[in-house]
């Protein structure tokens, strides 16, 4: 069951209220479109929630899912953080897919955030990495991720450079490249998320980071 966040975006919970939560943010497009639920995030949450029964997962559905209105997406992510704190979470991890990687970095400055996990993240050159200071930053990227005509993607070189810049800042950063991995973790078919090749490997890497987060 979804509910309205303070920004006007939507959120939906998986898992019980508790001291730790994971706020999940989606990718986007150049076109200014209404937000949708992410098949990749949804599949990951469905797979990870049973492995972490004490964790809460909050999926955020942006008002507009466009990198041309990035500031609105960041507001929506911060509204998700506020909702998690209102529900009782004291420590948060942010999980961002594609454009959501950049959104998660920008929202990471909240005092409750201790970890950011970025999957196939769009870490564009002008992105300010200062919000990551003092936090764990984990990147997972498919080796075959590419942008093709009509098909979104993020070249692995972008996350590699972002990773290097984070290390230069002294951030506790790690980067995992998944051989054979493409951009989406899952695509929606007949209303349900269908995993793409190497999706389970992505999930296992994220699970390793969540184990660290929960330790």
Per-residue confidence (pLDDT) for residue 29, from 0 to 100: 84
Instruction: Tell whether pTM > 0.75.
Output: yes
**pLDDT one-digit tens code per residue, 60-89:** 999 999 888 889 999 999 999 999 999 999
pLDDT, tens digit (0-9, with 9 covering 90-100), for 15-36: 999 999 999 999 988 888 889 9
C-alpha span between 171 and 148 (Å, rounded):
32
User: What does the pLDDT read at residue 152?
Assistant: 77
pLDDT in the model for residue 149? 66
For 78, half-sphere exposure in the C-beta direction (CA atoms, 13 angstrom radius) is 14
Task: Give the Cα separation of 153 and 151 in Å (integer).
Answer: 7
Tens digits of per-residue pLDDT, 109-164? 999 999 999 999 999 999 999 999 999 999 999 999 987 666 679 999 999 999 99
Residue 31, pLDDT score: 83
Whole-number pLDDT of residue 125: 93
Alpha-carbon distance of 37 to 62, in angstroms, equals: 8
pLDDT confidence of residue 202: 98
For residue 111, the 8-state DSSP code is T
pLDDT of residue 206: 98
Alpha-carbon distance of 164 to 118, in angstroms, equals: 14
Question: Is 184 a residue whose pLDDT tops 70?
Answer: yes
CATH class in words for 2-214: alpha beta
Please state the domain extents for the chain. 2-214
- Strands 192-195, 186-189: pairing is antiparallel
Other beta carbons within 10 Å of 125? 8
């Amino acid at each position: 069951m979804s509910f309205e966040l303070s920004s006007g975006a939507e959120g939906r919970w998986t898992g019980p209220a508790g001291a730790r939560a994971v706020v999940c943010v989606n990718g986007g497009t150049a076109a200014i479109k209404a937000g949708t639920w992410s098949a990749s995030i949804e599949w990951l949450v469905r797979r990870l929630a049973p492995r972490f029964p004490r964790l809460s997962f909050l999926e955020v559905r942006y008002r507009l899912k466009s990198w041309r209105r990035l500031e609105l997406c960041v507001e929506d992510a911060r509204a998700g953080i506020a909702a998690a704190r209102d529900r009782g979470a004291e420590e948060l991890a942010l999980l961002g897919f594609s454009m959501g990687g950049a959104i998660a970095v920008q929202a990471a400055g909240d005092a409750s955030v201790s970890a950011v996990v970025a999957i196939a993240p769009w870490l564009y050159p002008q992105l300010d990495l200062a919000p990551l200071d003092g936090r764990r930053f984990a990147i997972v990227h498919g080796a075959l991720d590419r942008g093709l005509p009509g098909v979104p993607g993020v070249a692995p070189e972008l996350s590699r450079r972002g990773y290097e810049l984070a290390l230069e800042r002294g951030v506790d950063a790690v980067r995992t490249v998944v051989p054979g991995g493409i951009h989406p973790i899952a695509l929606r078919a007949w209303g349900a998320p269908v995993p793409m090749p190497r999706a389970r490997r992505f999930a296992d890497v994220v699970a390793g980071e969540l184990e660290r987060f929960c330790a």
